[in-house]
Amino acid sequence: MKAAVIIAPGEMPRYTDIAEPVAQDGEILVSVKAVALKHLDRSRSNGTHYSSEGNFTGARVAGGDGICLLPDGTRVYAIGASGMMAEKATVERDRIVPVPEGLDDITAAALPNGVFGSAMALRFRAGIAPGDTVLVNGATGFTGRMAVQLARYYGAGRVIATGRNVAALEELRGLGVDETLSTRLSDEEFVAQFRRMHRSTPVQVIIDYLWGHTAELLLTALNGDGSFSPRTRFVSVGAMTGDTIRLSSALLRSVDLQLSGSGLGSWTRGQVRTLLSEMLPEMFQLAADGKLRVGTTVVPLAEIANLWDMDISDGKRLVVRIADQVLAAGASARNFR
């Protein structure tokens, strides 16, 4: 079968032939249709993600999840036991979610990682409540845009978005953003503007995809003066601008701050079961009904080596189409809504 195969950590995947995987106990052999290419996939392949298994020997197929067909023809989203960027894969029998008829393969493949990175943070780590004011730090990326929409869906009373691209920030107003805050501002003006927003309408939830310097600035702006303060739940989901920050102990003593993270290893088994049995089917249906906007760029599996590091703008997700390779092999990347 054809697959995107990584020979060694850090190398580009190769489009080549590899033997079909063999299903083990608790697994099913499936035909793969579409797989999203995510930052997680890239960082795991080069060993830089905290969940990476470390150095590996031998070839492995890229991709952790995707849309596929069960042997009886049922179309599902599944988490791979083997790599998913291949014509065939083995998937975990208890980590399968049916895909509604009204939802196309490409959108269905793009959606789950965005839900993992937004819904889990909002519901289980931040404990979002109706009426909360939510700030999404790094809102112009794919998962940030998802967080904006889901914050509204879960009842946020006000949504604030930060980002570098002014035009992209303004576009987010159509997805439910009330106020924007540019990360291009000077440090002093960024802190001053956020403080004004927080004093006017206290921010109960911060969902952070950037970490690094902007996270430091947001936390600095929360610093208290000894008077009573509203509670803020700050949830780190990504580290696009840096993996470490400086954190003053005075901040932790001067405000009512809950600082946590959301990602693989931070969720309970019960929460993951809820994600797969309730939350993801709900999000699939919202997208099928046109109530959740997902932007994608589609590429063929045959071109994976050239597209592995492709920079995707405008908050879109890169999706690799696995099926119909004869038709797709000569195609170039295109936009899909």
3-state secondary structure at position 196? helix
pLDDT score for 266: 95
pLDDT value at residue 47: 56
Nearest residue to 316 (alpha-carbon basis) of 142, 179, 172 = 142
Dihedral angle at the C-alpha atoms of 6, 97, 143, 335, nearest 10 degrees?
A: 70
Indicate the fold that domain 2-98+295-336 takes in CATH: Quinone Oxidoreductase; Chain A, domain 1 (3.90.180)
Supply the pLDDT for residue 213: 97
Q: Tell whether pTM > 0.85.
A: yes
* pLDDT given for residue 331 in this prediction: 36
Domain positions in the chain are 2-98+295-336, 114-261
Rounded distance between C-alpha atoms, residue 136 and residue 175, angstroms: 13
Residue with tokens 């970490």: 211
Chain centroid, CA 260 distance in Å: 17
Average pLDDT of adjacent 10-residue blocks, the chain of 337 residues: 87 91 96 90 60 60 95 97 95 96 96 97 98 98 97 98 95 97 97 97 97 97 92 96 94 96 95 97 98 94 86 86 52 34
Q: Give me the pLDDT at residue 43, please.
A: 64
Q: Please give the class, per CATH, of domain 114-261.
A: alpha beta
CA-based torsion, 222, 225, 230, 236: positive or negative = positive
Rounded Cα gap, residues 88 and 63, in angstroms: 12
pLDDT at 329: 34
